Amino acid sequence: MSTDRNHRDITDRGARNRFLIADDARLTGSIHVEGDDNRIELAAGAVVGPDDPLRPAPVLEIHGSRNQVSIGTRALANMQVKLDGDDCRLHIDADCNLTFNANLRAAGAIHVGQGTTMVKASLQVHETGSITIGKDCMISTLVYLSVSDIHPIYDRDTGERLNPAASVQIGDHVWLGLRSMIMKGADIGSGAVVAAAAVVSGKVPPNTIVAGTPARVVRENVEWRRDFDRS
């Protein structure tokens, strides 16, 4: 495993940053780091590149300290990610195939489980919280996940925050349909299906289909598969 901070695709303008890149990992875009004590790891067979190869933006841009990014064994991560806070975590497990963009602007975390696939998703952690996605999930085109509403709303009389952030939890083998929105506080049980364009902000029971805005259960006791072979 290489630890060369002078890799031609890495710009390191901080101190004590660590770049652990397996000999057979491939970085097809650039990494830019301004900050200290960050750790970036690309495991064996990982391939990391830009979400859009026609855009010059780095695949990973860090402006902060003590952040950790790890891309698992054989994972394919077509991504453009910005970490603008301190103590942020991005972890992608082995055998994922992901195309996404992400912003972490607070002490938060994104964790994607083994074998999950993702097409042009957007993951947003603008406040403290986490997005946790289980194993073998299928996340369709233009799905949006966020731990907050991005901007705060207050009661004018009391000054009380009306829309606090809340973490997002997605179980194993969940299918998120085209253009669905997974909002703060969502808790989606394993085996569930979220229909196209649905908006989820609460709890979804396992092995159900939810649809609509706000999403509601339309079918129970379901099982979905990636192919048509039931053998």
Q: What is the mean pLDDT of each run of 10 residues along the chain (231 residues)?
A: 58 95 93 96 95 78 97 97 95 98 94 97 96 98 97 96 97 98 98 98 97 97 88 56
What is d(CA 193, CA 188) in angstroms, rounded to the nearest whole number? 9
Burial, 91: exposed, middle or buried (Cβ in 10 Å; 0-12, 13-18, 19+)? middle
pTM for the whole structure = 0.93
Q: Are 57 and 84 in contact (CB under 8 A)?
A: no
Other C-beta atoms closer than 10 Å to the C-beta of 185 total: 18
Nearest to 46 by CA among 66, 16, 67, 20: 20
What is d(CA 112, CA 202) in angstroms, rounded to the nearest whole number? 20
Q: Catalytic amino acids?
A: 151
